[in-house]
Amino acid sequence: MQRGLILDFGGVLTSSIPEAAAGFDRREGLPEGTLMHTVGRHPEGSALFAQLERGLISQAEWGEQTAELLGVDGADLLPRVLADLQIEPVIAEAAQRARAAGVRLALLSNSTGASPYDSYLGCDLKSMFDVVVLSGQGVAKPDPELYETTLHQLGLPGDACVFVDDTARNLPPAQALGIHTVLAAGPAQVIEHVESLLGIPLRERV
């Protein structure tokens, strides 16, 4: 049976977002946890980030307003925030091993845009994935529409797919469609769970 693997970008295909945020705090001289609190729990800050992910405001607008909340310079805020984020090579290799084994590969990501800063780190997403579904036009995870679009473009039923995300609230809409889910807590844990669910090896055996 044809299978599908659906990956989030930040925190799954990349290094840890909290670690990148901690690096930003250190560079800017902010107390530890300031950035994560501001974009994740502060009422105004979290609303601004949600608008950015939904494509309702530009990177510049988000940077200017979020910088005011943080008390830092707003110039090029997004690239400064994401400066420590790197592609996680173990996950990238595992994803390509799955694809080589016949698994349909999709990216389902809440986007912070590609202009002027390419938050996808210059990755050629169209060559890496069979399907790319990004937030925007007022829609973002966990809106069910994005998950339905991903399955439609994969041409697969939910129960044939595995979805990996590092944010717990993004999993229930996938589960409601029958998609098997993995809450990412690190590369080794992700690969172990995905191997089990897909029934194929995704790493070198020694």
The answer to whether 108 and 150 are in contact (CB under 8 A) is yes
d(CA 90, CA 109) in angstroms, rounded, equals 19
Rg (CA), the chain: 17
135: in domain: yes
pTM of the model: 0.96
d(CA 23, CA 45) in angstroms, rounded, equals 19
Give all strands (DSSP E) within 156-199, no chain letters. 161-165, 180-183
Q: Which tokens belong to 109?
A: 């990501």
**What's the structural domain count of the chain?**
2
9: in domain: yes
At 114 the pLDDT is 83
Domain end residue (candidates: 81, 115, 137)? 81
Q: Are residues 48 and 97 in the same domain?
A: no
Tracing tokens 């044939």 back to the chain, one arrives at: 160
User: Phi then psi for 42, rounded to 5 degrees?
Assistant: -65, 130
d(CA 157, CA 136) in angstroms, rounded, equals 24
pLDDT digits (tens, 9 = 90+) for 153-175: 999 999 999 999 999 999 999 99
Under-50 pLDDT residues of the chain:
none
Q: Are residues 47 and 142 in the same domain?
A: no
205: in domain: no
At 205 the pLDDT is 65
State the CATH number of the domain containing residue 145: 3.40.50.1000
Helix, strand, coil fractions of the chain, as percent rounded to 5: 50, 15, 35
Burial class (CB in 10 A: 0-12, 13-18, 19+), 92: middle
Q: Are residues 173 and 189 in the same domain?
A: yes
pLDDT digits (tens, 9 = 90+) for 54-68: 999 999 999 999 999
- Sheet of 131-134, strands arranged across: 131-134, 104-109, 4-7, 161-165, 180-183
